[in-house]
A and B are shown apart, each in its own frame.
Chain A
């Protein structure tokens, strides 16, 4: 299952493979002298109980990039990020972070990265200011710069007003923001954000996105894992999708969407005519290359000529006696990418349904 999926993806679209080769070419010449932010070769990690969390991950991330790492729960995102942050030692493979070997130069790696783990990690008994201050001291920010740096970061994450309150009283969103501030005290050239907005309401999420964009604009490389495809689409220069411990596809959000092969025509039908509708769409001549999926409301057709021949299909459906209650032609989203790659949608929770803040 894994193997077929892995080999299928690059082979199925020659243009994507060409783009990959292009990318490699460009970066090797431009970045020959400076080490890349992250270089991973053949990373494998097997837990003591035999679980193969990561098997053969390759990754090369240039400095300054906003890189997104996507995948469903349990695909190996957090394991990979923990290896990069030196919290886990790889079973096999080469891992270089900021030019340092993650295995033998752990301390150098640690002083050159910021890490915001999936679970909010702040000391609830300390105030916001004390939390940031402790991080300054832990990362050896020079004594004279600590006060300014602390004020600056509290300002960045909008916690100046509550700077001297104990973090225990903070909302989920405030805690996340404080956590983000503590990961940035030493102005690291590379920051790991492991699902930084999971569990936050949309407002708190947008606010964090703004901070991440800002530090990325200032030159910081960002490695972000997320379950929210919209988040990846909004923020990332480049994405990789991991499934069952292997990277199955990699590229810019636009490239990944192109991978889907066309545009998406969603058709809503009345009653329970879903299967019948899908059958008609599959037999429909102009959509010979299309993929047809049934959805909750009706069907979803992905085809290069979706816009051109969409109305013809609607006519054909009417002739067959199917009542169409709605339709829409749209650009593919990363959700469609996921569907195309994995055969099932990413089980993301919609932001609006969650509590938080």
Chain B
């Protein structure tokens, strides 16, 4: 009883109120660590987002290598199908890994961690910044792994290490719109299966109806039309331009920059605009989901 009175009378506002040592960056770091730890432990994250693209890389080069190589060489002479395909697989990894962002959010909502975080004094923007940073970090690592594997398989990165870093950067930039999109799916459906299905259903049409696996010139006209509107085309073309060190962008014709940059700059510009647009939608939905306003 005496302890109780001590606290009631002498405690003022309460003993632990001012002891919080949280900072914005500290909160980002705490969440960054948590999501990285979860990524390593979650087989779904690793298998779906890395192993599947690796299987694609092997199967496509082995099964379609000869045929597709001819088609590729008609447009761009003297390159192997491995070299042509690796930037596309890098983008595929970014796409597949981005899905896990929304899946992670749904899991958090389902197991109550979402609410637990909301009721903690952590800065909410920092919470999402930390989570997204962990996902972007993982995508960068995974794209690097694909590039390494590609080189082992005989692909050549014409622009060397700097170009490789550029491809990783394009991969990360490309992933942002899909990260945002998968979070939108997560907030709207609040259901793990719907989020996975919704995001995965889109993945293959997006990849095949683009410049990822074959040059657009050998594909039917309707695919060429769709590909011009498909973000994957911009990501793949920008990454491929860095890989080959030449302007391979076929859907946007520009010559205001020098050589390779004529493909990279428009691709990056389109992806940035897309990331900002969908990012804004995701942020709006997330802040509505985290607000205490009655719905």
Question: Which residues of chain A have a CB within 8 Å of any CB of chain B?
Answer: 31, 33-35, 45-48, 62-64, 85-89, 91, 98-99, 106-108, 110-113, 115, 117, 119-126, 130, 134-135, 137-143, 166, 182, 186-190, 217-219
Contact = CB atoms under 8 A, between A and B. Distances in A.
Given A85-B119, A125-B41, A217-B3, A34 B8 contact: yes
B115 to A, nearest CB: 6
B286 interface: no
Contacts of A89: 291-294
A91 B3 contact: no
Interface stretch (B9-17, B144-152, B169-177, B250-258): B9-17
Contacts of A139: 20, 22, 120-121
Given A34-B12, A64-B4, A107-B121, A140 B19 contact: yes
B42 A125 contact: yes
B38 A87 contact: no
A110 B292 CA distance: 13
Contacts of B13: 35, 98-99, 112
Residue in B6, B13, B20 whose Cβ sees the most chain A Cβ within 10 Å: B20
Contact of B112 (A113, A122, A140, A166): A122
Nearest to B13: A99
A85 B119 CA distance: 7
A62 B11 CA distance: 13
A276 B52 CA distance: 75
Nearest to A219: B7
A111 B18 CA distance: 8
B16 A166 contact: no
Nearest to A83: B292
B34 A134 contact: yes
Range class of the B interface residue count: 35 or more
A135 B295 CA distance: 28
B182 to A, nearest CB: 19
Residue in A85, A87, A137, A186 whose Cβ sees the most chain B Cβ within 10 Å: A137
Given A33-B9, A46-B294, A107-B121, A182 B15 contact: no
Instruction: Rank and list the top 9 A-B pairs by shortest CB-CB distance, nearest first.
Output: A121-B112, A140-B20, A111-B121, A64-B4, A140-B22, A189-B14, A89-B292, A63-B8, A219-B7
Contact of A124 (B9, B111, B294, B295): B111
B113 A106 contact: no
B265 interface: no
Contacts of B19: 140-142, 186
Contact of B30 (A31, A85, A108, A138): A138
Contacts of A62: 8
A123 B131 CA distance: 14
Contact of A88 (B111, B113, B120, B292): B292
